Amino acid sequence: MSGTWANMTAADLGRGIGTGKINPVELAEAFLDRIETHPLAPRIYARATPARARGEAMAAAARAKAGLRKGLLDGVPVSWKDLFDTAGVATEAGSALLKGRTPDRDAAVLETATLQGLVCLGKTHMSELAFSGLGLNPVTATPPCLNDDKAVPGGSSSGAAASVAFGLAPAAIGSDTGGSVRIPAAWNDLVGLKTTAGSLPLAGAVPLCERFDTIGPLAHSVEDCALLLAAISGDPVADLAGVDLSGARLAVLETVALDDLRNRPAQGFEDAVARLGRAGARIDRISVPEVAEAMALAATLFTAEAYGIWREVIEAAPQKMFPRILERFRSGAGVAAMDYVAGWRRLEDIRRIWIERTAVFDAVLLPTSPILPPDANRLMTDDAYYVTENLLALRNTRIGNLMGVCALTLPTSQPSCGISFLGAAGQEARLLRLGAAAERALL
């Protein structure tokens, strides 16, 4: 395969199709061949969908020839996390509990993306039932990490990130319940967008915690994320023209998010903040003490819902699960209904406080993760290490989910260290414009 194609953004590939320099069929075949021959591909793709990809690419080529392209990404191949239903193709969500599960129709977002001309390359490996930010999955596969071949890649959209980072897809669609798009994006030097809960239909997406589940893209650029969001939503593409950081008001969140930062994530974050300031942004530092209270509610709200959804399936065959993930699900069994209801009522109060404290800012900044990708083998053998790293991995990203906002992670000067921008709920277009300006400042 052309090394140029493997490393190009989805948008640039789309522009190549538009000018006639790239044929969608040849493009799809090139990526399918790379998936077939790359030594890491079995750890990245749960299964490819070559017949579907070829058919969709042929249709895209015909539209391009007739001057009837549906958009810039018409004919561009994309990978899909293996919790999005694909008609006639197994969707197992990284779990032996769902082995052989084959839906009869596509997930709603995949249907929309297909109508927009995206080409489905296949389904990527993920954390078991999406309940881990590490990307460690001894049940199916643990995908590789771009910057450390001994480390986990981040999860739960682990294969999604790896497919893009290793040139096996131009872009990927994942899901994010507590950081599952942003962590693997950050640890593999990609851009990742967490959308606002409820902004995209979850029909046909295997759930984890439906009140927190979101869908979002992982890609090489903010432009790609904007185009992919439009493709899976059917909405217009965010206008990224003329973006500039001059006058932007950004706030560094000092509550929780800066605690226990390892050296390189701290260095990458502070360097990025300084660059944003030099590009014209006004940087303030804020504390929102209620965020710490919200974080304490997470164990109640996430685990109770996750176990409530999966209890019957899990307890029918618990031996099929990785014990650490099984333990995490079962921790929801001890949550009292009154505590769950009270927890959600308090979280809604805290969300209103967050809006009041952050309304004057264009975005709130924080390190995407306080740690680097942990060592995969040590996670399997060192209990204390697993507990520490697992808790820290999703700590910062979970803030965005708890506050109910949209969020964007961008790479920094340090490998596997991202900086996150938290926008207001439902303001993805505005956040993407800000992200495009920040991306220029951080290059």
Question: Helix 337-358 crosses helix 395-403 at what angle (to 10 degrees)?
Answer: 90
Cα distance between residue 80 and residue 107, in whole Å: 11
280: Cα within 13 Å, side-chain hemisphere: 11
Q: Point out the catalytic residue in the list 157, 158, 163, 180.
A: 180
Cα distance between residue 407 and residue 432, in whole Å: 9
> Under 8 Å CB-to-CB from 257, ≥6 apart: which residues?
366, 367, 370, 395, 396, 399
Cβ neighbours of 436 (radius 10 Å): 25
For residue 411, the cross-strand partners are 418
180 belongs to the catalytic site: yes
Cα distance between residue 437 and residue 251, in whole Å: 16
Cα distance between residue 297 and residue 235, in whole Å: 34
Consecutive H or E run containing 79: strand 77-81
Cα distance between residue 129 and residue 318, in whole Å: 13
Nearest to 435 by CA among 410, 405, 398, 414: 410
Q: Point out the catalytic residue in the list 79, 132, 156, 420.
A: 156
Cα distance between residue 323 and residue 270, in whole Å: 38
156 belongs to the catalytic site: yes
What are the backbone dihedrals phi and psi of residue 148, each rounded to the nearest 5 degrees, phi first? -155, 110
In the chain, DSSP finds a helix count (H) and a strand count (E) of: 17, 11
Nearest to 78 by CA among 178, 210, 215: 215
Task: Decide the pairing of beta strands 172-176 and 363-367.
Answer: unpaired
Tell me which residues are annotated as active site: 81, 156, 180
